Chains A and B, each alone.
Chain A
Amino acid sequence: MHHLNKLDTKMALLEVKDLKVRVEEREILHGLTLTVNEGEIHAIMGPNGSGKSTLSHVIAGKPGYEVTDGQILFRGEDLLEMAPNERAAKGVFLAFQYPVEIPGVSTMNFLRTALNAQRKARGESEYSTPDFLKKVREVSKSLNIPQDMLKRGVNVGFSGGEKKRNEVLQMALFEPSLCILDEMDSGLDIDALRIAADGVNALHSPKRAMVVITHYQRLLNYIVPDIVHVMSKGRVVKSGGKELALELEASGYAQFEDAA
Chain B
Amino acid sequence: MPAVQETVERVKRIDVDQYRYGFETLIESDKAPKGLSEETVKFISEKKNEPAWMLQWRLEAYRRWLTMTEPTWARVDYPKIDFQDLYYYSAPKPKKTITSLDEIDPEILKTYEKLGIPLREVAMLEGVEPKPGEEDPARRKIAVDAVFDSVSVATTFKAELKKAGVIFMPISEAIREHPELVQKYLGSVVPTSDNFYATLNSAVFSDGSFVYVPPGVRCPMELSTYFRINERNTGQFERTLIIADKGSYVSYLEGCTAPQRDENQLHAAVVELVTHDDAEIKYSTVQNWYPGNSEGKGGIYNFVTKRGDCRGNNSKISWTQVETGSAITWKYPSCILRGDNSRGEFYSIAISNGYQQVDSGTKMIHLGKNTSSRIISKGIAAGRSQNTYRGLVTAHRKATGARNFTACDSLLIGDKCGAHTVPYIEAKNSSATFEHEATTSKISEDVLFYCIQRGLTQEEAVGLVVNGFVKDVLQQLPMEFAVEAQKLISISLEGSVG
Contacts and interface: CB of A to CB of B under 8 A. Distances in A.
Contacts of B451: 102, 110, 114
Interface in A107-133: 109-110, 112-118, 121, 126, 129
Contact of A117 (B445, B447, B456, B468): B456
B444 interface: yes
A63 interface: yes
Interface in A79-119: 83-85, 88-89, 93-94, 96, 99-105, 109-110, 112-118
Interface string A53-81: 00000001111000000000000000000
Contacts of B446: 100
A102 B470 CA distance: 12
Interface string B433-462: 000000000001111011111111100100
A170 interface: yes
Per DSSP, chain B at the interface is helix
Nearest to B498: A63
Contacts of B465: 102, 105
A129 B2 contact: yes
Interface in B236-280: none
B469 A113 contact: no
Nearest to B5: A116
A113 B444 contact: no
B453 A89 contact: no
Contacts of A103: 468-469
Contacts of A153: 468
A89 B455 contact: yes
A83 to B, nearest CB: 8
A62 B445 CA distance: 10
Contacts of A83: 452, 457
Contacts of B453: 60-62, 84-85, 88, 93-94, 96
Contact of B452 (A85, A101, A104, A105): A85
A232 to B, nearest CB: 27
B460 A102 contact: no
Contact of A102 (B8, B445, B464): B464
Nearest to A170: B454
Given A102-B447, A113-B5, A116-B5, A88 B452 contact: yes
Interface string A231-259: 00000000000000000000000000000
Interface in A16-57: none
A118 B456 CA distance: 8
B400 to A, nearest CB: 36
Contacts of B26: none
A156 B212 CA distance: 45
Contacts of A170: 454
Interface string A163-182: 00000001000100000000
A85 B8 CA distance: 14
Give the residue among B451, B454, B457 with the most A Cβ atoms within 10 A.
Answer: B454
B479 interface: no
Q: Which 8 A-B residue pairs are closest in the complex by CB-CB distance?
A: A104-B468, A105-B468, A104-B471, A118-B455, A114-B454, A117-B455, A88-B455, A100-B450
Interface of B: 1-2, 4-5, 8, 444-447, 449-457, 460, 464-465, 467-472
7 contacts: A88-B452, A88-B455, A102-B450, A105-B465, A109-B1, A113-B4, A153-B468
Interface of A: 60-63, 83-85, 88-89, 93-94, 96, 99-105, 109-110, 112-118, 121, 126, 129, 153, 170, 174
Given A61-B453, A105-B464, 18 more contacts: A61-B452, A62-B449, A85-B455, A88-B453, A89-B455, A94-B453, A99-B450, A100-B447, A102-B447, A103-B469, A104-B471, A104-B472, A113-B5, A113-B460, A114-B454, A115-B455, A153-B468, A174-B455
